[in-house]
Structure 1
Amino acid sequence: MTSEVSVETFTQTTERNQSMTMTPEQATWFSGVFDRLVSNIDVVLLGKSHIIRLALTALFSEGHLLLEDFPGTGKTSLARAIAESVRGTSNRVQFTPDLLPGDITGVNIFDQRSGAFEFHRGPVFANIVLADEINRASPKTQSALLEVMEEGQVTVDGVRHMVGAPFMVIATQNPIEQAGTYRLPEAQLDRFLMKASIGYPDHEATLRILEGSDRKAHEVIVPEVIGATTVVEMGTMARTVHVDASINDYVSRLVDATRTADEVRLGVSVRGALALLRASKTMAASLGRYYVTPDDVKALAEPVLAHRLVLDPEAEFEGVTTSSVVAQILIETPPPTDRPAV
């Protein structure tokens, strides 16, 4: 494929000098492939290009996505379409109260013929893992994902097993039904690069869906755009996007503001600041730029930072939301006015 051949030239240049920033030609190529992926997935998730772009930004930033949404909005279709578009594998895990950690990571089973234990991989061994209704499982089971989301590996009986790359968890939780659910701990929320919501389709998209009602969602064929190896290479390429010192200062000031806000009990960690910068680099490349601008940071501040905040109980009672806190911080924190030097 053209994209497979093209990426080799760009990555070879990057490998020769890791200190070099992304070139304009690389940014143009990156943006073209990114747009092709968005168009490819849009066939399945109609009228949701924004959420598709966020999901792909998380993928190329080597991060994970938390979707808080109602049933039937296309979460499974999104995960499957991303996997098919990048020639990857996908697994879906329905989280329930009786789900055990081994049901996710895998277990060692004794083989009587060989007289030894053999590791049987769990559903987490895939490129795209959909953790459906993750807050319905017990905290012990939820914690089974902490290691693999951070380090790309699982440890069973003292033996480490790598899950491979690319690897992305798309987790969902229902914002309405709270009976029988467990709130995700802050440590796990911090592992998600972004939190977003697909939402219901608009009128035009709904009509298009109804017109194709004779086909089930899993029957829609999503063609391959790039290979899984290229995803990893593009992730490496995105890390070379230039970040001016003023952008680093802007991100730092935003994060500091979350820690001192009156409504906030726990602000954004350093991991959150790094996540915002990493996602901003990928967004810049997806838009054909080889440098980050304040607009990239502002566009991603809410999906990257809001879920990491813990509000003061009194503020929560008064109807304050984490999203509104981030929005206010963006207003009160002036961005750099000079064009980033590249």
Structure 2
Amino acid sequence: MNRFSYTRASEVPQAIDQHCANRAAAFIAGGTNLVDLWRENVAHPQLVIDINRLPLRQIEPTAAGGLKIGALVTNSAAAYDATISARYPLLSKAILAGASPQIRNVASVGGNLLQRTRCLYFYDAGTRCNKREPGTGCPAMEGVNRMHAILGASEHCIAVHPSDMCVALAALDATVHLSGPDGSRVLPFADFHRLPGDTPHIDTNMRDDELITAVELPKQGFAEHHAYVKVRDRASYAFALVSVALGLELAGDIIVNAHCALGGVAHKPWRNTDAEASLRGKPLNADTVRNFATDMLRDARGRRGNAFKIELTARAIERAFAMAAQRSLEEHAR
């Protein structure tokens, strides 16, 4: 780890000013990802700005009927919050599928959005990596790529985004509140993370001088018909090979609306809104779901180590619809 300076901020403008004064600065809340990156010689902050005193721990209703979650709310606090559990159970279940209780107790909502990939080559400072050092190459292309992307990748990077929470937030159509020296703005969650393209080292559309202050959920939480499916190598503390966050609105067995996001398969949580739109008015049956999975995976490309993910993702999508449909049957039986 490099030598560094440390300071604390008690207000959002103060934190932003401190960061603007030193562009090699890094904000720290729970530090569950930053410290890993730092220890592995991937991150090299010269100034660490502790933001834990910022007033960003509220979970409160919005005027539009949704919910606003402060960036410093811990993952555990969000998962077990009574309103989130009741109105947005998809988010609660996704959070609880990630990491360990100890990590969830300190990891922040804002920090979760900014997690960097767990690609082995990215974490190994002794190897080439376009995400860590642009232009050096991507050894994962022909190397160890079992965990890597089958959708949205580029010739420069096939890493995947590691978050469970973010998959649910993508399916829920969340928005991200940002503050910077020029004021505040709101980004749709779909526009927050980036695909690798020619700039795999740039993970998000945040500006370098901005700070996440909150995540906002819309009124629709898919509380009645939803599922979060995570396929992983072991049942505890493992990143997803594939995950599916699904929210459905149903009228009997007819699909009125569907939101489906995939994790573990791309550089960002993956949605296909055209495929989702094709479900509207269709019966919830095996043929409909199979055709939807085909649409979601039409552009998928597997490599030597991860081609199995294509079929695995299709099966996970089918399982998610079956789970949501079972909840529908249970609701009708009550």
Larger Rg: 1
TM superposition score normalised by structure 2: 0.24
**Greater relative contact order (CA < 8 Å, ≥ 6 in sequence):** 1
More helix by share: 1
Which of the two has greater strand per residue?
2
TM-score (normalised: structure 1): 0.23
